[in-house]
Amino acid sequence: MTPIALTIAGSDSGGGAGIQADLKTFSALGVYGASVVTALTAQNTKGVSAIHDVPAQFVAAQMDAVFSDLDVGAVKIGMVSQRVVIEAIAAGLERWRQDKIVLDPVMIAASGDKLLAADAIETLKRALIPRALVLTPNLPEAAALLDAPIARNESEMREQGERLLALGPRAVLVKGGHGSGAESVDLLIEPSAVVRLAADRIATENTHGTGCTLSSAIAAGLAKGLGLTEAVGAAKTYVTEALAAANRIKIGSGHGPTHHFHAWW
């Protein structure tokens, strides 16, 4: 069987994040990618200039079209900016009995632009987070979900991850890319274990779409039959290598994308 993963996310017209980054990641990792578009963004490497939300009923129609025909092995959820869209996605996941769900709580773009409406945060916490196999917040997103200060060290990362675990996901991956120090450390927190994933911090401005790429790489691993810890470890390696190769391509004048096809180009 051909492994299939589905991304439910927003479109990035600049091609570095969102649906475009997810499909590139799936392809690079040998997984067939399907997509459900939740929003259109007018976006490039310098920022987001406009957002056009897709109606909730059309998001649901896209989900029904994909799940009724394709044998989806894992689902990645990214930008879901509106409360009604979140509720439609949750209902669709329930309707099609999906449980391998990677939820990336995309709240703020790398440029600093807000991508999640304030009134949608509580709906995200109530309707989608409890359905996730793994929740993948970066440090600012974890803090925003908890209405807490940004974690300053691994101890605080673990404490916030455990608080997020109490919201209902089966695991939380707290990403340390926004931290400092020679290592970029992520913590995979489950009820019975904590796994520390460390890699050398890469000096590059080309970090656009990193979170999208990591979460979709995890979904790709799950679609290929990997266990969660193995999928997260493989995704961490892929993203680190994509960041290390990012300066080999020159895209735009702002925060360029990671190099999704570093192994091929």
Residue 116: the pLDDT is 72
Q: Which contacts qualify for 241-250: CB closer than 8 Å, 24 or more apart?
A: 242/213, 243/202, 243/204, 243/206, 243/207, 243/210, 244/202, 244/204, 246/202, 246/204, 246/206, 246/207, 247/204, 247/206, 249/206
Residue 108: the pLDDT is 67
Residue 112: the pLDDT is 59
Quick: pLDDT tens for 85-138. Answer: 999 999 999 999 999 999 999 876 655 566 677 778 899 999 999 999 999 999
* Residue 207 bears catalytic tag: yes
Reply yes or no on whether the pLDDT at 169 is more than 90. Answer: yes
Out of 211, 221, 233, 256, pick the active-site residue: 211
Quick: pLDDT tens for 204-219. Answer: 989 999 999 999 999 9
* Residue 175 bears catalytic tag: yes
Residue 118: the pLDDT is 73
* Residue 237 bears catalytic tag: no
Q: Is the four-CA dihedral 222, 227, 229, 235 of positive or negative sign? A: negative
Q: Which helix (H) or strand (E) holds 15?
A: none
* Residue 123 bears catalytic tag: no
- Distance, in Å, from the CA atom of 132 to the CA atom of 128, rounded to the nearest integer, reads 7
The CATH code of domain 4-248 reads 3.40.1190.20
Q: In Å, how far from its chain's centre is CA 81?
A: 14
Residue 114: the pLDDT is 63
Q: In Å, how far from its chain's centre is CA 18?
A: 8
Quick: pLDDT tens for 35-82. Answer: 999 999 999 999 999 999 999 999 999 999 999 999 999 999 999 988
Average pLDDT over residues 225-253: 96
Out of 45, 210, 213, 258, pick the active-site residue: 210
Residue 52: the pLDDT is 95
CB 174 within 8 A of CB 150: no
The tokens for 234 are 């493989």
Where does the pLDDT of residue 179 fall: very low under 50, low under 70, confident under 90, or very high at 90 and above?
low
Out of 212, 213, 256, 258, pick the active-site residue: 212
| Single pTM value for the model | 0.96
Out of 24, 100, 175, 236, pick the active-site residue: 175
Out of 25, 41, 45, 207, pick the active-site residue: 207
The tokens for 232 are 């997260």
Out of 33, 209, 221, 256, pick the active-site residue: 209
Reply yes or no on whether the pLDDT at 183 is more than 90. Answer: no
Quick: pLDDT tens for 3-41. Answer: 999 999 999 999 999 999 999 999 999 999 999 999 999
Residue 1: the pLDDT is 87
